[in-house]
Structure 1
Amino acid sequence: MSRLVVISNRVAVPKQGESGNQGGLAVALQSALRQHGGLWFGWSGETTEQFTGTIHDAEGAGITTATIDLEEQDIEEYYNGFANRTLWPLFHYRIDLTEFERDFEGGYQRVNQRFADTVAPLIEDDDLVWVHDYHLIPLGKKLREGGLRNRLGFFLHTPWPPTRLLTALPSHRKLVESLFAYDVVGFHTEDWLDSFHHYVTSLMGGTVDGTRVTVGDRTICAIIAPIGIDTAEFEAAATSDEARFARERMYMSATGRSLIVGVDRLDYSKGLRQRFLGYERFLASQPERRGLTSFLQIAPPSREKVDTYQEIRADLDALSGRINGEYADIDWTPIRYVNRGYPRQDLAGIFRAARVALVTPLRDGMNLVAKEYVAAQDPEDPGVLVLSVFAGAAEQMKDAVLVNPYSAEEMADALVTALTMPREERIRRWQALIAGVREQDVFWWCARFLDALEAVKEREMA
C-alpha cells in the first residue's frame, strides 16, 4: 500500500492518550493516517518574523506531522483574508459578507506556493497526496508546476456554491481551473457535485461522463464521498468514565428537565441566531412546557480576528440574555450559552444525556456533530436528532427530524415533535441512523476516496 501524505491548512498535533477538543475533520484525518501510515503537513498555527520554510517534525498517537510557521502578513491575507473573508462566506452562500481584496488573493497564492515548495521534498515517488479544503485549492497546480507526478487528490469540506454565486469572485475561473491539476476531486453531496458540474459545463465548455469531468485535454475524476466519523471510537467514548461523569453533571444541572443541546463552532453558517429564535418561539408557543426543558448551547469561538465573528458573539450574548430575561424563573434558566470547547469524552457524555440535539446550520458541507450525537446514544433510550435540511448530512440522515432552520415556527414544531416522540419511534429512527453512521464511517470515506485515487494509476497503465 502506498504511503499517504495529507496536506491541510492546520495540523492538529495529537498527544498520546489525549483526544482533546479537536474538530471532527482533525479527528477524521488522524484516524485515516493511523490506518494508512504517512505524513500530515500544514501550518503550525504559529507566526514567524520571516518565512524560512523550517519544518517542525512531531510524532504522537501514531501520527507523524510536519508543520511550518507563517508570517503575520501571510496569516492576515491568506487565512483571515482570502480563506475566511472571501471563500468561506461565498462558499456558504453569504455573498453579503464576502470581501474582495487583491491583497487577500495575493497572500492566498503566496502561501499556497510556500506550502508547495516546502512539502515537495517530503513526498516520495509512490506516495498518494491528499489535499484538503478551500484554503489550498491552488496547491495541486503549484505542485505540478514544480514537477510533482504523484497521484494527487483534493477534497472540499465546504459546500460548492451555485455558478451565479461563484462568478461573483473576480478570479473564479482561475480557481476552478486549478482543480484540474488534481486526479480526483471529492465533494460531500450530490448537490455540491452538481454545482461543480454546472460551472464546468456552462462556463468552461467542459463535459461530464459519469465521474469523468473533462475540460480541454485534461480529465479528472469528480466523486461524492460523504465524510464519516470514527464511529466505534466515539461509541466507546460515550461509555468512558469521563463521559459518565459529564452525563451525570448534565442530569444534575437539568434537575429532571429534558436537555436540548447544540454544539457548534461560533460561526454564522451554523445558524445559532436562528436556533435561539426557534427556541424562543417554542417557549412562546408552548407555555405549559416552560421550565420543563433546558437548552445548552456550546459554541467555542473561532477566527476571532475576523470582525464578523466578533459581531456574532456580541449578537448571541445579547439574544441569549434577552430570552433568559423574558422567560427565566428563580429556579430555571432557559438557555445556557457556553463559549468554550470540551474534550471528546465529555461531549459524548453530554450528547448521551440530551433528549434532543439541535444541528441546524444554514449551510454546511457535512456536519459531523450530527453523526457524533447519534453514535453517543443509549440504544435502549436514544435521543432525537433535529437536523437542518441544508446540512450535507441530511442526504444520509433522513430518519432525523428534518427542519428548515430559517423558520422559527418550524424549529419550534420540531422541538415539540422531538420532545414528545414515543420511545418506540425514537428507537426505530435511531437504529436507522446508527446503521448508516456505522457503515459509512471515516474509514469507509477514506477508502472510497483513496480507492478512486489508487485507480488513477491503473487507468494510466491500461
Structure 2
Amino acid sequence: MGKTIIVSNRLPLKVQRTDAGFLLQPREGGLAIGLDPMYRSGDYLWVGWPGLTPENEAEQQAITALLQVEGMTPVFLSETEVSSYYEGFSNGTLWPTFHYFAQYSAFDYEQWAAYVAVNEKFCTAILTIAGPDDRIWVHDYELMLLPQQLRQVRPQATIGFFLHTPFPSYELLRVLPCRKELLLGLLGADLIGFQTLGYMRHFLSSVSQLLGLPTHNSQIETPSRTIWAEAFPMGIDYNRCVAAAGAPATQMFAHTYREALREARVVLSLDRLDYTNGIAERLNAFEKLLQRYPQWQGQVSLVMVVVPSREQVELYRKLKEEIDELVGRLNAQYRTINWRPVHYFYRSLPFEEVAAWYSLADIGLVTPIRDGMNLVAKEYVASRTDQRGVLILSERAGAARELADALLINPTDTSELADALHEALLMPETEQRRRMVAMQALVKQYDAFAWSHRFLAQLTEVKTKQLGLATAPLGPEITQALVEAYRHARQRLLLLDYDGTLVPFRAHPERAQPDAELLALLQELSESPDTQVALVSGRDRHTLTEWFGHLPLGLIAEEGAWLRPPHQEWMLFHELRADWKQELRPVLDLYVVRASGSFIEEKEFSLVWHFRRVDPDLGRRRARELVSHLLFLAANSDLQVLEGDKMVEIRNAGIHKGAAAVRWLSLYQPDFVLALGDDRTDEDMFRVLPPDAYTVKVGESARSQARYHVSSIRDALTLLRSLRVPAPVATSSAPSKPFPYL
C-alpha cells in the first residue's frame, strides 16, 4: 500500500512572515490536534493552505521548500479566493446551514464559482503527488466537491471523506441551489464519515430524496460503485492532555490563577467566537443561577475564554459586542471587592494555560447550540487527573452521544442550564468520581489514534469490497469453459431468476408470461440428464404454478417463502406470519394515492408497492418516503423492508433467495452450479453459492456479488441455449430423496 494523503483547507502548521524569513508555528484546532499524532507516526503527506499568500514566486518557492521538509504540500490561495471561497461560501453559506442557522446563510453565485475553482485547485495539487496506490483522505465542508473531482481523473483511486461539522436535515439542505452538486461531490468518495449516526442518517436521507439513489444499510448504490457512509466519533490525544495536566508550566499557571481567584469555585467556558456556541445563552444562564440561588454569589466565578474569530464579519462583531455587554453588566451588578462573577479572556491561550484552567475548573461548561463533536468536552474530561469535576454538556453536541455521564442540557433553556449548574455545584465527590471515571475510560479508549486508524482501516476494507463487487464480463473464453464444465459435471443445478433475467419487466406484471420459446428452453434444460432447474422468483406461488407448474422444474416463490421441488407440493420455508399485513396495508394504500400509476401486489406473506408506471422522479421520491415510513413501523419487529427494481416490498425477515438456494444445494449436492439474476434480491443467492459456482449478473450494472455479468436478457438466454448441447451419460446419479424443510 502507498502513502496516505491528508487534505484539509488549512495545514496544521501556519506560516508567518518575519524579518528573518518565514516561520512555521503549530495551528490549534480540532483537526490539527486530532490528526497530528497519527500523521507523525507513518507514511503521510498533508495538503492544504498555509495561511499566507506569497507576494512573489520566490516567496512561494521558499514556503514550499520549508513545508516539504515537514511532509506538507501547500495550496496557495489569493486574497480574493480566501474571501470568496472560505469567508464567503464556506463560512457564509455552508457553515450556518450545516449548523441549523439558515437565517444567516446567504448564497452568492460568484462565491459558489470560487468554491468550485478552489476545490479544483486542490485537486490539481493532489494529483501531482498522488500515486495509484495512495489513499486520499479529504476533510470537512470546505472541500465537499473534491472527492468527485478526483474520481473523474482517477476512477480507481481510494478516497475517503470526513465531515467534522453536523450534516443538516434534508429540509435545510434542499434550500441551497447547489445541493445536488454538493452531494454528488461527496459521492466521489468510497467512504464518507460523520461524527454521529444522526448526521449520517441526514446525509443518506438527502441522497435518497435529492438524487433518487437507493440506500441500504449505510450503503449508497450508484450505477458504477457502492459507497459506504459511517459514523466515526472523533477523539483527542488523551495522553497529551494527561501529560499537560502535570507539566510544570501548567502547574505554574494553575498556582497563579488559584491565588487570584482565592476560594471561588470555577466554572470554565472555552470557545471560539461563533454564534453556534451559545456563549450569550451561557452568560444569561449564569446570571439566572446567581438570581435563583443567591448563596452562590461570592462563591462561584465563571471563567470565560473566547478565542477571536472572523472579527471582520459584521455578524461576529455584533456577537462580540453582545458578549462584552453581558459580561460588563454581570460584573457591574454583582461584583464585590473580593469577588468577580465573570473573568473574561478574549484571546487564544497556549495549551499549557488551557490545561491549567481545565485542572482548576470545578465545572466544565460546554453548551453549543449545535456542534459536530466538540473536543473541548473530551479534553476537560481527560485533563481531570484527580477524577473530580462535573461536565455540563449540550445535548446538541456530537459528544453528547458518547459522554452520557455528563449533565446533558438543552443549551437554549437558560433555566435548565442554571439548575444544572446548581446541581453540579452540589454534586458529592463520590458521584463526581463515578461519572468522571466512566467518561475518562471512554475518551481514553476512543482517542484520536483509534478514530483515524478505524477510518483508514474501514476505507481499505471498503475498497476491497468494491473490488470484490467488480464482476468480469462473461466473454467467449469463460462461456466456453462454463459449457465444458456443464457437459462434464455429474450433477448440475441451475438457479434462475425470472423477471429482469429471463423476461423484461412489464408495466403490468401479469403481462410478463413466458412465451413458447422460453417454456421450451426451460423444459429442455429440466429434462437434461442429471440436471435440476429451479426458478427463484419474487412472484406468488399461484402465478408460478399457472405458468410453470407443468414443467419438471423446481419453483421458489415470494423470494424463498414457498418452495416446490419438481412434481411435489408447495411447502413453506418455515412458519411465517401474515397478520401484520392488516396494519401495514393502509400505509401502502396511502402511497398508491400519492403516486398515480402505482399499485399494490399482495402475496401470502408479503406486500409489494410497484411504481413502474409512475413518473420516474415522483416514483423515486415516494419510494424513499415509503421506505423511511416502513422502516420506522417495522423497527423492533420480525419484518424486513426491501427495495427492488421499481418496487418496495415488506416481508418476514430471514426470507430471501440465499436461504432457498442453500436448501437446493443441500438436496442435490451438485458439482456444477449456474445462477442468473438481475437485482438486489439475487445478491443473497450469489453470496451463499460455492466459490466455483458460475454466478452471473444480468443487466447494465456490473457491480455484484456475482463472478460474471452479461449486459442483457438476450445474452442470458443465449447462454442458456448454449447448454442444450447433448450431455454424456453420467456414470452415477444423485439418489432421489425428500426435500428438506423445517
TM-score normalized by structure 2? 0.60
Shift of 1:355: 0.3
SS in 1 for 2:157: coil
Q: For residue 6 of structure 1, what is the aligned residue in structure 2?
A: 6
Given that 2:14 and 2:51 are in contact with CA atoms closer than 8 Å, whether structure 1 keeps it comes out as no
Alignment of 1:158-169 (within 5 A): 158-169=165-176
Q: For residue 307 of structure 2, what is the aligned residue in structure 1?
A: 300
2:265 to 254, 258, 275: 258
Q: Does 1:206 align with 2:213?
A: yes
Deviation string 1:290-310 (CA, Å, 9 cap, x unpaired) is: 010111111111122322111
Alignment of 1:4-43 (within 5 A): 4-13=4-13, 22-43=28-49
Q: Does 1:75 align with 2:106?
A: no
Shift of 1:134: 0.1
SS in 1 for 2:5: strand
Shift of 1:187: 0.2
Greater gyration radius = 2
Alignment of 1:39-438 (within 5 A): 39-48=45-54, 56-58=64-66, 63-147=70-154, 149-379=156-386, 381-438=387-444
The more displaced of 332-341 and 198-207 is 198-207
CA distance in 1: counterparts of 2:242 and 2:385, whole angstroms: 10
Given that 2:67 and 2:73 are in contact with CA atoms closer than 8 Å, whether structure 1 keeps it comes out as no
SS in 2 for 1:264: strand
CA distance in 2: counterparts of 1:122 and 1:217, whole angstroms: 26
CA distance in 1: counterparts of 2:243 and 2:196, whole angstroms: 28
CA distance in 2: counterparts of 1:243 and 1:298, whole angstroms: 17
CA distance in 2: counterparts of 1:117 and 1:368, whole angstroms: 32
Given that 1:180 and 1:218 are in contact with CA atoms closer than 8 Å, whether structure 2 keeps it comes out as no
Given that 1:295 and 1:334 are in contact with CA atoms closer than 8 Å, whether structure 2 keeps it comes out as yes
CA distance in 2: counterparts of 1:321 and 1:348, whole angstroms: 26
Identity %: 37
How many residue pairs were aligned? 458
Given that 1:4 and 1:33 are in contact with CA atoms closer than 8 Å, whether structure 2 keeps it comes out as no
Shift of 1:149: 3.2
Shift of 1:155: 0.2
Given that 1:247 and 1:349 are in contact with CA atoms closer than 8 Å, whether structure 2 keeps it comes out as yes
Give the structure, 1 or 2, with the largest relative contact order (CA under 8 Å, sep 6 or more): 1
Pick closer, same or farther for the CA change 1:142–1:57 going to 2, 3 Å: farther
TM-score normalized by structure 1? 0.95
SS in 1 for 2:455: helix
AA of the residue aligned to 2:118: V
CA distance in 1: counterparts of 2:171 and 2:65, whole angstroms: 43
Deviation string 1:189-244 (CA, Å, 9 cap, x unpaired) is: 01101111111222222222223122444321101000000111211111111111
Over aligned residues, Cα RMSD in angstroms? 2.0
Pick closer, same or farther for the CA change 1:68–1:202 going to 2, 3 Å: closer
Pick closer, same or farther for the CA change 1:218–1:363 going to 2, 3 Å: same
Shift of 1:59: 5.5
Q: Does 1:458 align with 2:464?
A: yes
Pick closer, same or farther for the CA change 1:21–1:297 going to 2, 3 Å: farther
CA distance in 2: counterparts of 1:21 and 1:278, whole angstroms: 32
CA distance in 1: counterparts of 2:389 and 2:375, whole angstroms: 17
Shift of 1:144: 2.1
SS in 2 for 1:299: strand
SS in 1 for 2:13: coil
CA distance in 2: counterparts of 1:203 and 1:277, whole angstroms: 40
Shift of 1:273: 0.6
Unaligned runs of 5+ in 1: none
CA distance in 2: counterparts of 1:337 and 1:428, whole angstroms: 31
Given that 1:204 and 1:215 are in contact with CA atoms closer than 8 Å, whether structure 2 keeps it comes out as no
Given that 1:80 and 1:305 are in contact with CA atoms closer than 8 Å, whether structure 2 keeps it comes out as no
CA distance in 2: counterparts of 1:288 and 1:168, whole angstroms: 49
SS in 1 for 2:51: strand
CA distance in 2: counterparts of 1:161 and 1:313, whole angstroms: 26
CA distance in 1: counterparts of 2:65 and 2:216, whole angstroms: 42
CA distance in 2: counterparts of 1:218 and 1:400, whole angstroms: 41
Unaligned runs of 5+ in 2: 16-23, 469-742
SS in 1 for 2:76: strand
SS in 1 for 2:75: strand
AA of the residue aligned to 2:12: A
AA of the residue aligned to 1:259: V
CA distance in 2: counterparts of 1:196 and 1:36, whole angstroms: 32
Given that 1:352 and 1:377 are in contact with CA atoms closer than 8 Å, whether structure 2 keeps it comes out as yes
